[in-house]
Amino acid sequence: MIDIHVHFGKFRGIETNIPEIIENLTQQGITQIGLMPLLDENASNLKDSHSILKKYYTQYETQIIPILWVPPHILMSEIETLMSEIPYKIIKIHGYLHHWTKENIIRIIKFTEIQKLPIMFHTGGCKHSEAGFYMRICQTYPNQKFILAHGRPIKQSIKIMQLCNNVLTDTAFMSIDDLQQLVDKGLQDRVLFGTDYPINKYFYPDKNPIDWYKEQIDEIVTTFGIRMRIKG
């Protein structure tokens, strides 16, 4: 089973390292993780985070699906350099933390189309990072695969997924009610299992993080059983 949405680094004062993440999630039956850093608002820690991932990637190569989280101001030459050192499999764009224009997104798409890399969009939090903001982009580039992380708002995500076969979503911090709506619309095969682990340490400080993680798996399996196949 793959968890496509996992972070390493520091989130609001709570830091989690890569070996800890690998050990904890492997014990829960996760065979691979989509792993990305936690960037700050200026992406000033991008290079340091890349260096940390590079340090551990060889050791955990079979377990890590490396995700490159990019800021709007990044140069294409910088992306190429980073990718020459780590074979990143997904590009992440976070429209809530960083202000992305559609023009800047298209600049990245021109690169990912050639490299055949999916783009993961954070969705939710503000108007310019809601799923609907990316509707026209997803329609304009049908050969580009997009992942609407979190699927927020869910009705917008469903509309895009119904119109665009190149769009998926993930279950990171997604409610069971939202997940049920995806299943009811027959979109279950385009749902990726994701958790946003270990950000839960901040939002649920009184709950053991591994117990929380087990609940994410158990709740989905219990609620949907064999009716839902978490793609991965």
Are 80 and 112 spatial neighbours (Cβ–Cβ below 8 Å)? no
CA–CA gap between residue 129 and residue 121 (Å, rounded): 8
List, in order, residues 6 or more apart from 57 with CB less than 8 Å away: 64, 66, 86
pLDDT per residue over 196-223, tens digit each? Answer: 999 998 888 899 999 999 998 888 877 7
| CA-based nearest residue to 101, from 78, 132, 129 | 129
**Max Cα separation, the chain?**
46
Look at residue 38 in the predicted model and tell me its pLDDT: 93
At 223 the pLDDT is 79
pLDDT of residue 226: 44
Rg (CA), the chain: 17
Do the bridges between strand 191-192 and strand 167-170 make them parallel or antiparallel, or are there none, so unpaired? parallel
pTM above 0.85, yes or no: yes
219's tokens: 């709740």
> 2-227: CATH homologous superfamily?
Metal-dependent hydrolases (3.20.20.140)
Single-letter residue type at 71: P
Residues 94, 107: Cα–Cα separation, whole Å: 15
- The position carrying tokens 């699906």 is 65
pLDDT tens-digit readout, 75-88: 999 999 999 999 99
Amino acid at 204: Y
What are the residue ranges spanned by the domains of the chain?
A: 2-227
CA distance 130 to 199: 20
**Residue 230 DSSP class:** -
Stretch (H or E) spanning 170: strand 167-170
- For the chain of 232 residues, list the mean pLDDT of each consecutive stretch of 10: 93 88 94 95 94 97 98 96 98 93 96 97 94 97 98 98 97 94 93 94 90 89 61 53
